[in-house]
Structure 1
Amino acid sequence: MKPQMRNTYVSKTVAALKPSGIRRFFDLASGMEGVISLGVGEPDFVTSWSVREASILSLEQGYTSYTPNAGLLELRQEIAAYLRRKFHVDYRPETEILVTVGASQAIDLALRAILDPGDEVIVVEPSFVAYEPLVVLAGGTPVAVQTTGADGFQLHVAQLEQALTARTKAIIICSPNNPTGTVLRPAELEALARLAKEHDLLVIADEIYAELTYDGGYMSMAAVSGMRERTILISGFSKGFAMTGWRLGFAAAPEDILQAMLKIHQYAIMCAPTMAQYGALEALRSGERDVAEMRSSYRRRRNYFVSSLNEIGLPCHMPGGAFYAFPSIRHTGMTSEQFAERLLIEEKVAVVPGSVFGQSGEGHVRCSYASSLEQLQEAVKRIKRFLARL
């Protein structure tokens, strides 16, 4: 008797995952002419020529073989110096820094390295769309803790404490935040540190936007007293150095955790692309002026765009970092998905529904101001016209 075929060979866990809501709207917009895209979170700057040149030179010199699994030691040393110089945290480049294929891979490795089946991870919402799926894929259970626009999406540690159970192992934070642009203040980080120490928790700190803060006072979670040994610091080159397509990130963590991450990385990836690592090396050595110019440009655009959104009737807090505005659309009576779809179809402006970033994102849309000032001005005109019709 012929054995019966399975209905599907796809894992039930993977089958249950929802596709990225960001990509859905990006794909919709890409098929339309004349669209102003405020959707995808990507710098509109080209990678610095000195970085591109360094990568080209590495190819010309024949540096095309594998690097060590953890990345070029020279690059890890530069990352360690960068973290010490900019964020006042010390890591040993030989054993506590790992070069990854983007910051997203670093988050994936961190979760897979620390989670056992049934472990819970608190995810502070609104949050980057990948956090909860990556927790699930690592065998854990994501537990959402919401923040609200009433206070600019600031973190309240009392809410985190209420969400703790005996199975809680870690908390994921993102500062500056994607999608809200909120920067966690030192007092909030210190309160979070007290909670982590009291309940023996790890903190996975996604600091990929750390270079893009506009009002001073940025503090790394790992720099808080007593938190270096409880923090997995995630960062990379995509946002601050305009190197999204290079897919290069890094993690810094205590040696036992970092080496567990490296073990997975060895089997899954081997190493990050060699030529991209040489480019990143140059970015750290000579890219500070370019980063400063980009940051200054985004600050000007932020000030214009957020002020304009408030003027035309979309209430929006002033984000402290990243390149996102997260205005409220509650008064329109539409869901965030309805608002985004109609705005795209009727005025050809692409934004991302806040609902894709978790339940607390509903009633908002994410607008990236990583576009030219001229495009932002035109987008404001179109959004104003759209609101007037409502």
Structure 2
Amino acid sequence: MKHRFIAKRYWNDISTPMGESGNLMREYDDLINFSLGDPDLITDERIISAAFEDAKNGHTHYTDFLGDLELREEICKYYKDTYKYHVQLEECMITTSGCHAMWLVLESILDDGDEVIIHEPCFTPYPQQIQLTRGKPVILETDEEDGFQVDIHRLKALITNRTKAIIINTPNNPTGTCFSKKTLEAIAKAAIEHDLIVIADDIYTAFSYEQPFIPITTIAGMKERTITIGSFSKDYCMTGWRVGYVLAPDFIIQTMKDVNENNVFTAPSISQRAALHALRMRDKIQPPIVEEYKKRMFYAYERIKDIPNMSTLPPRGSLYLFVNIKKTGLSSIEVADKILRDAHVLVLPGNAFGACGEGYIRIAVTVGLDQLKEAFDRIEKMEIFS
């Protein structure tokens, strides 16, 4: 809103359908919420208990400015064990969530007017995060016909003298797409040729259903030009703990540390201890989580296949299905609103994730199978889907 006490850059409304969805959750007592990617599963009791014990034993202070030393060591060990990829301690920093990590990264690398390429449909905050850090978002559209993979020719056509970075997100929110090795190698080649940074928003690494996840930083020649953002929110059902991390060349990490001293200083110590225990117990904790969400994804996919005027690609990754509703003849917002009003099911319109998301809705499978069944039973009775 326009007011003399508000910074002029916020006079125009910057709220998003994702942010506004919280207000809609209270509209109906029987609402089924498919809107936000907040896993409904509670953080594993073993993680909570271990973090609680650490708190009682004195882990209630500031940590090292780069993050809890044991946690950083464990992250380095994880990348070595899982990907045969070596990370030094000074190349790792703990952040207050993946979103905070993205802001810190952009604030640390962008000069005024630098361009950052984003592939759409994309995570809603990206464009504004870039603008907040004085950069310019440049949109790279992807298509369902190509499985929402990045078209390398389109990517190269967008590169200019002001291009500084490319943000990639795979497994992807909102489309669920997992970039193939061929796509990753093509992006890497373009980044090397044009001396660009790749910011890899690796938030859903556990949820790659077709093939093992490949971090782009492990591709030859990419370590020195990749900034990897990781998070414990989705992979360990720890959204409320607000803890993530960044892997990057040490000089970038040092700059981020200096910037963060003027922001939140350090991530919460208790959350960092919880993340440490999650990593150490991942082989016991993660498989049941992944199996549960995979089961839900494929159930939702099968239901959508049987509903007229709805279609979606088979599940490939993440917690989301990006559902094509173009045959309804209605806009994404109109369909999302009708589903809310008629079926009391809250979904997000596809254009919340960029203009090329028009004609889609996003479903987050963050409710159990019983609620999934009830939601689709209601939806398939709607006139526009019958």
TM bracket, shorter-chain basis: over 0.9
Question: What's 1:299 paired with?
Answer: 294
Q: In the alignment, does 2:368 pair up with 1:372?
A: yes
2:243 corresponds, among 248, 256, 259, to 248
Give the deviation of 1:348 after TM superposition: 0.1
One-letter identity of the residue aligned with 2:77: A
Q: Measure, in 2, the Cα distance between the counterparts of 1:249 and 1:389.
A: 40
User: 8 Å contact 1:185–1:218 — kept in the other structure?
Assistant: no
Partner deviation per Cα, 1:206-262 (whole Å, 9 max, x = no partner):
011001111123210101111111110001100000000000000000111111111
User: 8 Å contact 1:298–1:323 — kept in the other structure?
Assistant: yes
Q: Measure, in 1, the Cα distance between the counterparts of 2:379 and 2:147.
A: 22
Q: Measure, in 1, the Cα distance between the counterparts of 2:27 and 2:246.
A: 36
Matched positions, count? 384
Q: Measure, in 1, the Cα distance between the counterparts of 2:53 and 2:324.
A: 48
More divergent stretch after superposition (134-143 vs 61-70): 61-70
Q: What runs of 5+ residues in structure 2 fail to find an aligned partner? A: none
SS of 1:326's equivalent?
Answer: strand
Q: Measure, in 1, the Cα distance between the counterparts of 2:341 and 2:334.
A: 11
1:202 corresponds, among 172, 197, 203, to 197
One-letter identity of the residue aligned with 1:283: A
Question: What's 1:232 paired with?
Answer: 227
User: 8 Å contact 1:29–1:344 — kept in the other structure?
Assistant: no
Question: What's 2:125 paired with?
Answer: 130
Partner deviation per Cα, 1:337-362 (whole Å, 9 max, x = no partner):
11111110111011000101001111
Q: In the alignment, does 2:236 pair up with 1:265?
A: no
Partner deviation per Cα, 1:178-211 (whole Å, 9 max, x = no partner):
0011000110000001100010000000011001
One-letter identity of the residue aligned with 1:167: R
Q: What runs of 5+ residues in structure 1 fail to find an aligned partner? A: 1-5
Give the deviation of 1:266 after TM superposition: 1.6
Q: In the alignment, does 2:282 pair up with 1:287?
A: yes
Q: Measure, in 2, the Cα distance between the counterparts of 1:178 and 1:71.
A: 27
More divergent stretch after superposition (83-92 vs 57-66): 83-92
Q: In the alignment, does 2:28 pair up with 1:52?
A: no
More divergent stretch after superposition (152-161 vs 127-136): 152-161
One-letter identity of the residue aligned with 2:37: G
Identity %: 36
One-letter identity of the residue aligned with 1:140: G
Q: Measure, in 2, the Cα distance between the counterparts of 1:343 and 1:197.
A: 45
More divergent stretch after superposition (313-322 vs 81-90): 81-90
When the two structures are superposed, what TM-score results if normalisation uses the length of structure 2? 0.97
User: 8 Å contact 2:278–2:285 — kept in the other structure?
Assistant: no
When the two structures are superposed, what TM-score results if normalisation uses the length of structure 1? 0.96
Give the deviation of 1:17 after TM superposition: 5.5
One-letter identity of the residue aligned with 2:8: K
Q: Measure, in 2, the Cα distance between the counterparts of 1:387 and 1:70.
A: 55
Stretches of 4+ aligned residues off by more than 6 angstroms: none
**Matches for 1:187-226 after TM superposition, within 5 Å:** 187-226=182-221
Q: Measure, in 2, the Cα distance between the counterparts of 1:317 and 1:387.
A: 23
1:346 corresponds, among 342, 345, 359, to 342
RMSD: 1.4
Question: What's 1:277 paired with?
Answer: 272
* 1:257–1:23 CA distance, 2 compared to 1 (3 A): same
Q: Measure, in 1, the Cα distance between the counterparts of 2:26 and 2:283.
A: 33
More divergent stretch after superposition (258-267 vs 71-80): 258-267
Q: Measure, in 2, the Cα distance between the counterparts of 1:178 and 1:387.
A: 29
Q: Measure, in 1, the Cα distance between the counterparts of 2:65 and 2:13.
A: 30
* 1:63–1:195 CA distance, 2 compared to 1 (3 A): same
2:321 corresponds, among 325, 328, 351, to 325
Q: Measure, in 2, the Cα distance between the counterparts of 1:272 and 1:261.
A: 13
1:356 corresponds, among 352, 371, 382, to 352
User: 8 Å contact 1:183–1:319 — kept in the other structure?
Assistant: no
Q: Measure, in 2, the Cα distance between the counterparts of 1:200 and 1:365.
A: 36
Question: What's 1:151 paired with?
Answer: 146
Q: In the alignment, does 2:102 pair up with 1:77?
A: no
User: 8 Å contact 1:213–1:295 — kept in the other structure?
Assistant: no
